[in-house]
Chains A and B, each alone.
Chain A
């Protein structure tokens, strides 16, 4: 078996170094689309995905001149999106808990456009996974990152990635079986 390499945020036309020379506008144009797609797969919410990707972009650009490897912007950007998503989820859980206590109906829920051709049961199940399990699955199966690269993005060990992917897959199967029953 050959481990995959990251492809989701990489578009081969120009290098990040070129993009930097052209300013943050070019950097943004080069990376924002892939960033939004990744954020959407993590969050399930198109509008939130755009906010998430833009926030991650701001943070990465802020530190960009301090990166030893400017061409590694993609991986920093990817990591920032995942981290912002997982930390943001925690904040939103607090907000939701507070809103529930206050009797508000405005607690935010994940939303996506119906896609009759897709496995809606699988998509719903994916949305119910813990954030890090979902992130691990998306990084492995969409971004095609190796286990080691996934571990680096998630900031955990390879063993932890294996566990996240295995548990995520198992939870998906259970959730789908539950829906079918």
Chain B
């Protein structure tokens, strides 16, 4: 802990103490509001259950209709993944659709346009396939920067709320905002938009039919802001909306019906205001991966390219709940570089996992059955080699997400240096005594042995010790027992001064192993030799089960012994003598 952290802890304790006593008596107005809120929540819950049952039935019907002869192209990113029914609330709309259709939340973008006149678009998404030959061909983009455009020169006719399509059209397009919605032969695209042009012209006097309406309701407006296609105009409360649907010529009937079912099965809430939320600077369109309801109300799990410059990864997952824009959660996810999985959230738990994982499950306490999670492939516009996962977890019991079906070696990358700018090198990961561990080295700071996938730090060689490293004190050694009380299982690890060229471990039973800088002399003993010669070396060695009695001997390049260090870890007897001799490897 550094000085600022220590001072901060003391300050926070002191300041918290300065608050003094708080009257424990419940104020009358708080009591009344609490009771009213309890009653209101109960009523909303009853309504939600009924609504969910309705939309679930509609969604199941849609899937049933689209099942037998549905779309399964060879390059379908959902091939091998389980398609599920996704019910998500976006703005005032709750829509149910199959998970292999692409549901995009356009509302943050529209809200920003409505309030600030600016738009943000994020690259990392392929261009949409457009009619007339313009395509998104070419190498996948690698940049994921977001850019803010200048204000729209003319107020938009419509403000898209969501789009649903059977192909990935990326996030850079804004249906209707960018002009006509153009489709390829097999594309099916629906856009739901707030009809801002109509609203401005007919404020308080609109005569749109109230939701629900059928898809074949006659269009009561001759404006066609989204280009060719089918329009349905309707209102919910005082707010006018327009639905635009465009089908390519070769779209199968089942997919047309899926889209129509999604439209007609929508729930539209007229209780919410539409312009009360302050737009965020980085508001942009997002893929809606999943939706559901937890104790805080409806939630959506949304995906967009990662834009935080402090991270290596390229996606950002965001959990939104009905609490409003203040409860926007999520973060960048780091998997693949020595870490197979990363999780966040509570209910739901969600995260990212390396693409090779067969499945992900949530593990709770010992003896509790694991909770399966839903795996979701990234959209084609995000060409990164990992998957997303999520699972409802309406409990406060901590759950650890565990990736299944990946080999222990999959995440070992001893030669890689993190490119996140932190200066941390993940020297190794492994499994000892059933525990996944990682060894992270920060030059001049620490060598840390921690858990993989969580924040547990088992042991470390800390900075104050690192500072003592010299030719006179050329070895810093750490040990950690991953075994049980009756059967220890040690991992040895250490940092050596740059003068150390070879290390020998001589065991009490007479065994001797020697390894030198940059070589692997034993399958279970490694030395990390990729540092420059003037830098320390890092090594680690996994011991067989049982006590360890050993001496570690350091040689320099002239085979001169420059240090010896004895180890006696849970010795079975008082005899910890070492009789064998270490031998320096000439020319090593």
Taking Cβ atoms with an 8 Å cutoff, the residues of A that contact B are: 1, 3, 8, 24-25, 28-29, 32-33, 36-38, 40-41, 46, 49-50, 54, 57-59, 61-69, 71-72, 75-76, 83-84, 86-88, 90-91, 93-94, 112-113, 115, 117-119, 122-123, 126, 137-138, 141-142, 146-148, 151-152, 154-160, 162-163, 167, 169, 172-173, 176
Contact = CB atoms under 8 A, between A and B. Distances in A.
Interface of B: 2, 4-5, 7-16, 18-19, 21-22, 24-27, 30-31, 33-38, 40-42, 45, 278, 295-296, 308, 310-311, 317, 319, 323-334, 342-346, 351, 394-398, 454-457, 460
Contacts of A113: 18
Nearest to B42: A65
Nearest to A131: B326
A131 to B, nearest CB: 9
Contacts of B454: 148, 158
Contacts of B326: 83-84, 86-88, 90
Most A CB atoms within 10 A — which of B14, B19, B27, B343?
Answer: B19
B329 A154 contact: yes
A172 B4 contact: yes
Contacts of A90: 278, 325-326
Contacts of A156: 329-331, 344
A58 B345 contact: no
Contacts of B26: 24-25, 28-29
B25 A36 contact: no
B19 A163 contact: no
Instruction: Output the residue of B323, B397, B460 with the most chain A CB within 10 A.
Output: B323
B330 A155 contact: yes
Given A141-B12, A155-B330, 17 more contacts: A24-B34, A28-B30, A32-B22, A36-B19, A46-B19, A49-B19, A65-B41, A69-B397, A113-B18, A115-B15, A122-B8, A147-B455, A151-B344, A156-B329, A156-B344, A159-B331, A167-B310
A172 B330 CA distance: 24
Contacts of A137: 8
A162 B317 CA distance: 16
A72 B398 CA distance: 11
Contact of B40 (A46, A62, A169): A62
B41 A66 contact: yes
B22 A33 contact: yes
Nearest to B328: A155
B122 to A, nearest CB: 18
B37 A169 contact: no
A54 B27 CA distance: 9
Contacts of B41: 62-63, 65-66
Nearest 3 interchain pairs by C-beta: A87-B326, A155-B329, A62-B37
Contacts of B10: 119
B395 A119 contact: no
Contacts of B342: 157-159
B62 to A, nearest CB: 29
Contacts of A41: 12, 15-16
A141 B38 contact: no
30 contacts: A24-B26, A29-B24, A29-B25, A37-B16, A38-B16, A40-B19, A41-B12, A61-B38, A62-B36, A63-B41, A66-B41, A66-B295, A69-B395, A72-B395, A76-B295, A93-B278, A117-B14, A118-B14, A122-B11, A138-B12, A142-B9, A155-B329, A155-B345, A157-B317, A157-B332, A157-B333, A157-B344, A157-B351, A159-B332, A163-B310
Nearest to A164: B331
B31 to A, nearest CB: 7
Contacts of B398: 148
Given A169-B5, A172-B8, A142 B344 contact: no
A115 B14 contact: yes
Nearest to B347: A68
Nearest to A163: B310
B159 to A, nearest CB: 20
A54 to B, nearest CB: 5
Nearest to B296: A63
A93 B5 CA distance: 28
B462 to A, nearest CB: 10
Contacts of B22: 32-33, 36-37, 50
A155 B15 contact: no
B19 A87 contact: no
B30 A58 contact: yes
A38 B12 CA distance: 9
A76 B15 CA distance: 23
Contacts of A173: 4
A88 B327 CA distance: 11
B204 to A, nearest CB: 25
A118 B33 contact: no
A141 B311 contact: no
B396 A71 contact: yes
Contacts of A49: 19
A124 B569 CA distance: 49
Nearest to A144: B9
B388 to A, nearest CB: 12
B355 to A, nearest CB: 18
Nearest to B16: A37
A120 to B, nearest CB: 9
A141 B8 contact: yes
Nearest to B29: A54
A148 B33 CA distance: 33
Contacts of A94: 278
A181 to B, nearest CB: 16
B332 A66 contact: no
Given A137-B8, A176-B4, A157 B343 contact: yes
Contacts of B343: 157-158
B21 A33 contact: yes
